[in-house]
Amino acid sequence: MMKNDRREFIRKAGMGLLAGMGAASGLLTGGGFERTTSAAWAAVPGEEGLRWGMLFDTRRCPEGCTLCIESCHHTHNVPDIASLEGKIEWMHKENGRELLGSLCASTAAVPALCNHCAEPSCARACPTGSIFRRTDGIVAIDYHRCVGCRSCMQSCPYGEVSFNWSDPRAALKNPTVEYPTRQRGVVEKCNFCSDRLVRGKKPSCVEACPEGAISFGNLNDPSSEIRRLLESSETLQRKPELGTRPSVFYII
Amino acid sequence: MIEQALKGRRNYRIWSLALLVVAAGGVYASALQSADGFVHTGMGNNAIWGLYHAQLPFLASIAAASLAILVPGTLQKHSFLASLAPLAAFLGATASAMSLFFIAADLGMQRRILTLLLNPSPGAPASWQVPLLLLFLALTLTVGWAQVGAMRKGVKPPVWIRSAVMVAIPAGIALPVISAFTLAVVPGSELWTSALLAPRLMASGVAAGAGIMLLMAVTAEQLAGFKAGEETLERLAAVGAWAGLVFLALTGLDAATAMLGNMTADTAALALLYGNSPFAVVSWFALFSGTLSTGLLLVPSLRRSFIAAASLGSLLALSVWLQSGLTLILAGQLKDASAAAGYAPAVPELLLTAGIWAGAVLLMTVLLKITASAQLEREGL
Ligand code: SF4
Ligand code: SF4
Ligand code: SF4
On chain A, the residues whose CB falls within 8 A of the CB of B265 are none
Is the confidence at residue B324, as pLDDT, over 60?
A: yes
Is the confidence at residue A21, as pLDDT, over 80?
A: no
Which CATH architecture is the domain A31-251 placed in?
2-Layer Sandwich (3.30)
User: Could you tell me the domains of chain B?
Assistant: 2-380 (1.20.1630.10)
Which of A117, A163, A188 for a ligand 1 pocket mutation test, highest count of atoms within 8 Å of Cβ? A117
Closest alpha carbon within chain A to B119 = A128
Is the confidence at residue B286, as pLDDT, over 90?
A: yes
Residue B27 is classified by DSSP as: H
Region A70-78 average pLDDT = 97
Q: A103 or A184: whose pLDDT is higher? A: A184
Least confident of A12-16, A54-58, B96-100: A12-16
Each residue's pLDDT tens digit, B4-35: 555 667 888 899 999 999 999 999 999 999 99
Give me chain B's average pLDDT, please. 91
Question: What confidence score (pLDDT) does residue B221 get?
Answer: 81
What distance in Å separates the CA atoms of residue A164 and residue A141, rounded to the nearest whole number? 13
Judged by CB atoms closer than 8 Å, whether chains meet at B119 and A87 is answered as no
Q: Is A102 on the interface with B (CB under 8 A)?
A: no
Each residue's pLDDT tens digit, A177-215: 999 999 999 999 999 999 999 999 999 999 999 999 999
Which one, of A121, A145, A116, A245, lies nearest residue B125 by Cα?
Answer: A121
C-alpha neighbours within 13 Å on the C-beta side of residue A233: 18
Task: Name the residue type at position B222.
Answer: Q
Region A68-90 average pLDDT = 95
Residue among B106, B119, B182 whose CB faces A128 most closely: B119
Question: What confidence score (pLDDT) does residue A66 get?
Answer: 96
What are the distances in angstroms from CA A33 to CA A231, A234, A235?
Answer: 15, 10, 11
Question: Distance, CA A206 to ligand 1 centroid (Å)?
Answer: 19
Each residue's pLDDT tens digit, B224-258: 777 778 888 999 999 999 999 999 999 999 999 99
Which one, of B254, B257, B264, lies nearest residue B287 by Cα?
Answer: B254
Task: Say if CB A147 and CB B107 are below 8 A apart.
Answer: yes
Closest alpha carbon within chain A to B265 = A24
Region B57-73 average pLDDT = 94
Question: What confidence score (pLDDT) does residue B340 get?
Answer: 64
Judged by CB atoms closer than 8 Å, whether chains meet at B113 and A147 is answered as yes
Those residues of chain B whose CB sits closer than 8 Å to some CB in chain A are 37-39, 43-46, 48-49, 103, 106-110, 112-113, 115-116, 119-121, 123-124, 126-127, 129-130, 182, 185-189, 333, 335, 342
A151 touches ligand 2 (CB under 6 Å): yes
Question: What confidence score (pLDDT) does residue B13 get?
Answer: 87
What distance in Å separates the CA atoms of residue A55 and residue A70, rounded to the nearest whole number? 19
Question: What confidence score (pLDDT) does residue B3 get?
Answer: 54
Is the confidence at residue A42, as pLDDT, over 80?
A: no
Region A157-174 average pLDDT = 94
Burial string for B99-109 (b: 16+ CB within 10 Å, else e) reads bbbbbbbbbbb
Work out the pLDDT band at B110, boundaries 50, 70, 90. Answer: very high
Question: What confidence score (pLDDT) does residue B7 get?
Answer: 60
pTM of the model: 0.90
Burial label for B148, CB within 10 Å (0-12, 13-18, 19+), is: buried
Question: What confidence score (pLDDT) does residue A16 get?
Answer: 42
Burial label for A36, CB within 10 Å (0-12, 13-18, 19+), is: middle
Is the confidence at residue B369, as pLDDT, over 60?
A: yes
Burial string for A110-126 (b: 16+ CB within 10 Å, else e) reads bbbbbbbbbebbbbbbb
Domain residue ranges of chain A, discontinuous segments joined by +: 1-30, 31-251
Is the confidence at residue A17, as pLDDT, over 50?
A: no
Query: Phi/psi zone of residue A26: left (φ > 0), alpha (ψ -120 to 50 degrees), beta?
Result: left
